[in-house]
Amino acid sequence: MKILLTGGAGYIASHTCIELVKANHEPIIVDNFYNSQKEAINRVEQIVGKKIPFYEVDVCDKEATRIIFEENKIDAVIHFAGYKAVGESVSKPLAYYRNNIDSALTICELMIEYDVNKFVFSSSATVYGLSETVPLKEGMPTGCTNPYGWTKYMIEQILIDFAAANKNMDVVLLRYFNPIGAHESGLIGEDPVGIPNNLMPYICQVAVGKLEKLSVFGDDYPTPDGTGVRDHIHVVDLASGNVAACEYENKGTEIVNLGTGIGYSVLDMVKAFEKANSIKIPYTIAPRRAGDIATCYADATKAKKLLNWEAQYDLTTMCRDSWNWQSKNPKGYN
């Protein structure tokens, strides 16, 4: 299949591109480099050993995006493109609603126009909101705590309605848990803009000397060690989940969690990283952050049943691959 990856130079998308090539699909990348780097595409091509068709386009621009559909017989779209910083979404909500929803609508309209009937959406476990019930299952109530999360929630609803109105449409909404790790080569990985929002890149930047120490937000949660518990999944597992979703045939909409089904605390992650890489990570305990919940991990049984997919990588490998990327690229792609 020819598969269009919107936001294709991003962290999860770049790894998905490699897995698509391995599965004999033909990815096409579109990205405007708002929160990604062109070097990521060069590195992907180095790994797969061939050129990947690429367009530098903002997918909110319908006429510019139309050219991609005109020039390629696209079979499926994996929609990664979007603004993604939770904190920034709170301070710039209109920009997030405009960009993230507009880009999804543009793609949907062009898919109708060019008879493309497969849409895979990179959604997020953030749509489960402040649910304290674990594991999180696809049928549970949803809700969000920030504009970034609401854009994911709203796009999910748009796509459900889109599929219901277009009987040939096949939509898979993938709710990602916490991606970490990197390609085993160390050539591509997570390259956050500014100070990282997520735990693993923060740990890695402490390890490489860019940041002084890790702040652990809260040690009084009702968890085994008092720190927050999350489901961390290797980015290559997420990438293979996207391939499986593209290959899954079904009319209508399916919602699928992609996670390991295992919860690790913040201190579990620190200790695992230290053990895997023989590096000490200094940390301090800080007050809880508003909106954080104690425990969040996936029920991933539907992914196994529906997509024949399950996570393959263990925590030690996730930690090693994260450090392999960061140590080889202390300044990211720059």
- Residues annotated as part of the active site: 148
Helix H or strand E encompassing 13: helix 11-22
Beta strands in the chain (DSSP E): 2-6, 26-31, 54-56, 76-79, 118-124, 170-176, 178-180, 214-217, 229-230, 232-234, 252-258, 264-265, 283-286, 295-296
- Check residue 202 and report its DSSP letter: H
User: How far is the C-alpha of 226 from the C-alpha of 217, rounded, in Å?
Assistant: 10
Q: Three-class SS of residue 266?
A: helix
Residue 53: asked if its preceding bond is cis (omega within 30°), the reply is: no
- Check residue 182 and report its DSSP letter: -
What does the block give as tokens for 202? Answer: 């923060």
User: How far is the C-alpha of 292 from the C-alpha of 127, rounded, in Å?
Assistant: 13
Nearest alpha carbon to residue 44 among 236, 320, 203: 236
On whether the CB atoms of residues 200 and 11 are closer than 8 A, the answer is no
DSSP H helices, 139-279, are 147-165, 199-207, 235-247, 266-277
On whether the CB atoms of residues 300 and 310 are closer than 8 A, the answer is yes
On whether the CB atoms of residues 77 and 120 are closer than 8 A, the answer is yes
Beta strands 54-56; 26-31: pairing state: parallel
Alpha carbon separation from 86 to 56, 78, 294, 309 (Å, rounded): 25, 22, 18, 28
